[in-house]
Structure 1
Amino acid sequence: MDRIRRLPNGVSSIVAKIIAEKFPAVTFAEHRGVLFVDGDGSTWFVGYCGLCGGYVVDRCPLFETYYH
């Protein structure tokens, strides 16, 4: 996850698009992608966010509500 987050924004968006479209992914609340949970309980999302209207690599407070 750290490697993906450190990529330049355009490259990380491409990685998020590939994950959302080609990998087995979760589909929930206008999201399609993969979730990662850090040791501190933070939930990170890589994939397509329908709420943002784009491909993201970011913390996702929407998912943190459901997975804590």
Structure 2
Amino acid sequence: MLSAEKPEQAPRAKGLDSAVRKKAIGGLLKAAKTGHLEASLRQFEETAEAAEEPAMTLEELRRPAT
């Protein structure tokens, strides 16, 4: 029978994870407020649309080299 208890984690590790998450979320919120997030997404979409066809198709990559 499996135990329902979760393995214990060090309190320091939990705090670090929380601090990292808060910093990442804060960065995203700041980027959204300043318009950098929208500009980055727009630039990514334009780059993806302008990308050339891949040199090889997936099927060509799967074929063994002879």
Tell me which interval the TM-score lies in, with the shorter structure as reference length. under 0.3
Q: Which has the larger strand fraction?
A: 1
Q: Give TM-score, length-normalised by structure 1.
A: 0.25
Q: Give TM-score, length-normalised by structure 2.
A: 0.25
Q: Which has the larger helix fraction?
A: 2
Higher relative contact order (CA 8 A, sep 6+): 1
